[in-house]
Amino acid sequence: MMPLWVVLSLVSLAANAAKVLTVKRLCGGIDSRLVVLTGRLFSGVVLLPLLLYRGEAMPTEPLFWIATIAAAVITAFASVLFTEAVKKGTLALVIPAQAAVPVFTLLTLWCSGGKTPTPAAILLMMFSMAAVGWMLYANHRGETPAHRKTFYAVLSLIAAALFGVSTVLDRVAIAHAAYGALAYSTIWNLLSAALLGIEFIRTKTTKKNIMRKILAV
């Protein structure tokens, strides 16, 4: 019988693939911040009743909140970059760049002293990054200046680096809360939605003020 974690991983993979295709096909004209905000808010609203049903108090560990807030900020920015790359880039370039997430996770653990990779892991990381680098170089070399698509693959790679860092923060936060994964996922989604909502409103307000000044001239 297939282990539960394998089943859940396959379900997550299918859900992510569906999300990418939905964003690519249906969300081209929607602000990327609004797309990510909607997803985070929906997930937070679904998870919150489950957390409350458990009857657990809100986490009070300072390290939990530091890690969760940092992860919410980093992943909000990374998700907007990735969504923008999916909407405007070539999926054959944008998606493979996300394969670098585990590499950046290991590098973050290595740099923070949390885990030293084995020689085999270092070799595989080098091969993985070399493959991504060659993909970007080979595609960029054949592009015309008017049809640059490598830019969006680079956005995806930057997002992968940020996701790699946030994965380490995920582990820290989950380890410092009762029902760690559920508490973290709920609070992280709601914090991310709040941050994106504030940024979206701020930007729209700024644009309206600029337009009023232009029209008043």
In the chain, which residue ranges form alpha helices assigned H by DSSP? 4-26, 32-54, 62-88, 91-97, 101-111, 119-141, 150-175, 180-216
- pLDDT tens for 148-161 read 678 888 899 999 99
Could you report the per-residue pLDDT of 77-135, keeping only the tens digit for each? 999 999 999 998 888 888 888 888 888 888 888 887 767 777 887 788 788 888 878 87
Q: What are phi and psi of 114, to 5 degrees?
A: -80, -30
- For 73, half-sphere exposure in the C-beta direction (CA atoms, 13 angstrom radius) is 5
pLDDT band at 192 (very low <50, low <70, confident <90, very high): very high
The predicted model scores a pTM of: 0.83
Angle 176-179-183 from CA coordinates, rounded to 5° = 80
The length of the chain in residues reads 217
Tokens standing for residue 197? 């909502």
Which has the higher per-residue pLDDT, 139 or 23? 23
Contact 180, 171 (CB under 8 A): no
40 C-beta neighbours (distance < 10 Å), count: 24
